[in-house]
Amino acid sequence: MLFLVHFRIRHKVGGSLSKRQLSTTLFAFAIFWLFSGPSVAHAGLELSESFLEPPQVDKPTPVKMYLYLDDVNRIDVSTHTYEVTAQLVMEWQDARVSSLFKPGNPESVLEFEGVEAVEIMKKLWHPEVEIMNERGERKIGVRALDIHRDGRVSVYEKFDSQAHLEGDMFYFPFTVAELRLAFNAFEQDKSEMELQPAKFESQSGATMDDVIIGPWSYLLKSTETKTTHRSNEPNRKYSRVDFLLKVRRDLISGISIALLPILLIWVCSSALLWIDAAEFSSYGSPRIGGLLTLLLTCVTLQLTMESRLPSVSYLTLPNLLFYETIVLLTAGICLSVVYVHRYHRVSKEKARAFDRTLRITYPIVAVTVFILALIVFAFQTRL
């Protein structure tokens, strides 16, 4: 409860309190709480059963939704999930609550926090929402309820959630991930309640890049209203609001994950071709042995990276690069064996001419095949 007091005071004055001010405030509140009890501030507040009915019987109640992001972290394309900590505020009009303010009462707002807010909400109509695309159930750490004299009612909650990640993974690791929070009405259908997005931004004083944790950068944010229904109640419609945040993996991070290791393998395999395999026995040649080692390294690297690659049913860019590299390394080993065979069994001059051609054409063919494969891959992903 003391944490909640500090939270409310800090957000009202727009900054942090000094240690002395905070200590004085907390001590005064403790004395007040000890002698007065938890509900003395609103001791006369009574809610009849009629407050559980919708504020407007003849039309749906508009509920404005404000979402403030504290941090977005653990964006994992392999499991298609991400974690978010955010603050949600839902506000609506209920003219009936004006009667809760007694004549002569100077208060313009009644504030409830924690357990007290939960108990009041059991007796008062309020929107109940769920996050449709989350895994598990969101954890609410702080909850507050404000009732204003002019009929405005607002519910505040700070929560943690793990949600499903969307996005096109064809060009992983250069991925644009869609981080969506889909809030859907849980009990009240559209005849009773209409969800409306009001604000979607980062916490006060922070940019979107500040709240995104990890090798990702902010692209854009948007909101969208939708209508949903349940399979067991196809004719009953529910209101839904989507808060969408798009992020892109940083270029350096994307290169280091897949492109750099494969590029190094290509360079090493091209360099090994400049070793004259005919100067050694075919089974002891460092050229053939080096290419074979690179091939095994590439296969091991692919198996290791499987845990970091997205689990999708289609071919991704890293898969394409690994398959091409395995084919090129296999071709390099086979052509080196052909060179050794021609050197010892056919003609040394012809074999050396073949080897000189191989050294030049091997990297050219590798780059050409990569470019052509990338063009075909890009064309196929657009179909």
Residue 177 has pLDDT above 60, yes or no: yes
pLDDT at 240: 97
What band does 32 get if pLDDT is binned at 50, 70 and 90?
Answer: very low
Could you tell me if 319 and 228 lie in one domain? no
User: Within 13 Å and on the Cβ side, how many CA atoms surround 41?
Assistant: 14
Dig out the tokens for 104 from the structure. 């002569």
Could you tell me if 286 and 147 lie in one domain? no
Residue 65 CA to residue 240 CA, distance in Å, equals: 11
What band does 11 get if pLDDT is binned at 50, 70 and 90?
Answer: very low
Q: Which of 218, 249, 280 is the last residue of a domain?
A: 249
Q: Which of 249, 280, 296 is the last residue of a domain?
A: 249
Could you tell me if 237 and 259 lie in one domain? no
Q: What is the mean pLDDT of residues 106-124?
A: 91
Find the range with the poorest average confidence among 196-205, 261-270, 308-317, 320-329: 308-317
Could you tell me if 86 and 7 lie in one domain? no
CB 142 within 8 A of CB 4: yes
Q: Are strands 193-202 and 61-76 parallel, antiparallel or unpaired?
A: parallel
What band does 281 get if pLDDT is binned at 50, 70 and 90?
Answer: low
pLDDT at 173: 78
What band does 116 get if pLDDT is binned at 50, 70 and 90?
Answer: very high
The residue segments making up the domain with residue 174 are: 43-249
Find the range with the poorest average confidence among 46-50, 122-126, 181-185, 200-204: 46-50
Residue 373 has pLDDT above 90, yes or no: no
Q: Which of 228, 249, 270 is the last residue of a domain?
A: 249
Dig out the tokens for 333 from the structure. 């080993």
Residue 107 CA to residue 164 CA, distance in Å, equals: 43
Could you tell me if 268 and 311 lie in one domain? yes
Q: What is the mean pLDDT of residues 125-137?
A: 93
Could you tell me if 59 and 150 lie in one domain? yes
Report the CATH number that the domain containing residue 333 is assigned in CATH. 1.20.58.390
How close are the terminal C-alpha atoms of the chain, in Å?
Answer: 57
Share of the chain above pLDDT 70, in %: 84
Residue 2 CA to residue 25 CA, distance in Å, equals: 10
Could you tell me if 189 and 221 lie in one domain? yes
Could you tell me if 179 and 325 lie in one domain? no
Contacts of 301 (CB under 8 A, 6+ apart): 261, 322
Could you tell me if 238 and 258 lie in one domain? no
Report the CATH number that the domain containing residue 84 is assigned in CATH. 2.70.170.10
Q: Tokens 């051609």: give the residue.
A: 357
The DSSP symbol for 301 reads H
Could you tell me if 4 and 112 lie in one domain? no
How far from the centroid of its chain's Cα atoms is residue 345's Cα?
Answer: 61
Q: What is the mean pLDDT of residues 250-254?
A: 83
Cis-peptide into 103, omega within 30 deg? no
pLDDT at 140: 92
Output the CA torsion sign for 5, 8, 13, 18. Answer: positive
Residue 158 CA to residue 88 CA, distance in Å, equals: 6
Q: Following CA atoms 97, 194, 238, 81 in sequence, which dihedral angle do they give, to the nearest 10 degrees? A: -100
How high does pLDDT run on average in the chain? Answer: 83
pLDDT in tens, 307-326: 766 677 677 778 888 888 99
CB 111 within 8 A of CB 144: yes
Q: How many domains is the chain built from?
A: 3
Minimal CA–CA distance to 129: which of 40, 48, 77, 192? 192
Could you tell me if 223 and 77 lie in one domain? yes
pLDDT at 77: 85
What band does 344 get if pLDDT is binned at 50, 70 and 90?
Answer: confident
Residue 182 CA to residue 198 CA, distance in Å, equals: 15
Residue 157 has pLDDT above 50, yes or no: yes
What band does 29 get if pLDDT is binned at 50, 70 and 90?
Answer: very low
Dig out the tokens for 235 from the structure. 């004719």
Could you tell me if 21 and 110 lie in one domain? no
